[in-house]
């Protein structure tokens, strides 16, 4: 079943067009990766889906419902949750307070402790540090917190914007393993990455973005094998 559908979406910053007539879908249960270089429009795409940016043209549908005009804070309640680029954690709040903020839009209080357990099982490190202030944690821990916080709203679709940014190589592998785990527990994941190797290896399907347009699409494996993509994004000539 199609969970998210972008149809002919364009996004402008003032007069500059960042996204050109983009269309793609994300099916339930998938991991979908968007890869591309700096300035390709990856983050713009994410912010448009989460509602922080408004498209100048086109429509976005979530679970069959048109959400193009819906405000970001209502999209969370509908089931779209974002771990933003640069992590976006609240530095002066503790780990637990950060996670608690993730439940802000929820109506049910009963499922919260269940989800907290789930987050602590995925990231035991967060449980160790639950009373620590977000701003004092390392980059990797902040990334865990950002993903954990996004999960606290029990999303149907989890948007991850550059989860590997600024992390050590062995930790990048770990975070992608956790992303696969989250997906296998039933959460659909849309992820934006510069680390094409991991992003393609873990994804069911993937799209390559260049200057605001989708230039390639296919399964993760297909794209990994594509010579043009190998050369441009995987550093293999």
User: Is residue 99 at the binding interface for other proteins, with CB under 8 A as the rule?
Assistant: yes
Spatial contact of 176 and 164, defined as CB atoms under 8 Å apart: yes
User: Is residue 164 at the binding interface for other proteins, with CB under 8 A as the rule?
Assistant: no
Give dist(CA 139, CA 113) in Å, integer: 26
Instruction: Considering only residues 135 through 154, tell me which ones interact with other proteins, judged by CB under 8 A.
Output: 135-143, 149-150, 153
DSSP notation for 169-194: HHHHHHHHHHHHHHHHTT-EEEEEES
DSSP notation for 102-116: TTTT-S-STTHHHHH
What is the total count of residues that contact other proteins (CB under 8 A)?
59
Give dist(CA 84, CA 76) in Å, integer: 13
Q: Which is nearer to other proteins, 168 or 225 (CB)?
A: 168
* Closest CB 53 distance from other proteins, rounded Å: 10
Q: Which is nearer to other proteins, 175 or 208 (CB)?
A: 175
Spatial contact of 51 and 129, defined as CB atoms under 8 Å apart: no
Spatial contact of 27 and 1, defined as CB atoms under 8 Å apart: yes
User: Is residue 82 at the binding interface for other proteins, with CB under 8 A as the rule?
Assistant: yes
User: Is residue 70 at the binding interface for other proteins, with CB under 8 A as the rule?
Assistant: no
- Positions touching other proteins (CB under 8 A) are 50-52, 71-74, 76-77, 81-82, 84, 86-94, 96-97, 99-106, 112-114, 116-117, 130-143, 149-150, 153, 166-168, 170-171, 174
């Amino acid at each position: 079943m199609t969970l998210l559908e972008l149809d002919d979406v364009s996004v402008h910053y003032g007069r500059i067009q960042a996204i050109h007539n983009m269309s793609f879908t994300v099916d339930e249960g998938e991991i979908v990766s968007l890869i591309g270089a700096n300035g390709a429009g990856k983050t713009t795409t994410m912010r448009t889906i989460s509602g922080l940016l408004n498209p100048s043209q086109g429509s976005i549908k979530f679970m069959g419902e048109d959400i193009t005009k819906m405000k970001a804070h209502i999209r969370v309640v509908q089931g779209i949750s974002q771990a933003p680029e640069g992590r976006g954690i609240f530095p002066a709040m503790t780990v637990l307070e950060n996670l608690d903020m993730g439940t802000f839009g929820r109506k049910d209080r009963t499922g919260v402790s269940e989800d907290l357990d789930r987050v602590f099982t995925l990231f035991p490190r967060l449980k160790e540090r639950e009373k620590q202030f977000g701003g004092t944690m390392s980059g990797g821990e902040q990334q865990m917190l950002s993903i954990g916080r996004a999960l606290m709203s029990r999303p149907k679709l989890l948007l991850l914007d550059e989860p590997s940014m600024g992390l050590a190589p062995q930790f990048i592998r770990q975070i992608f393993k956790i992303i696969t785990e989250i997906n296998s527990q039933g959460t659909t994941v849309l992820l934006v990455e510069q680390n094409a190797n991991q992003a393609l290896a873990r994804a069911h399907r993937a799209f390559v973005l260049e200057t605001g347009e989708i230039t390639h699409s296919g399964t993760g494996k297909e794209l990994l094998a594509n010579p043009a993509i190998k050369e441009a994004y995987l550093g293999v000539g």
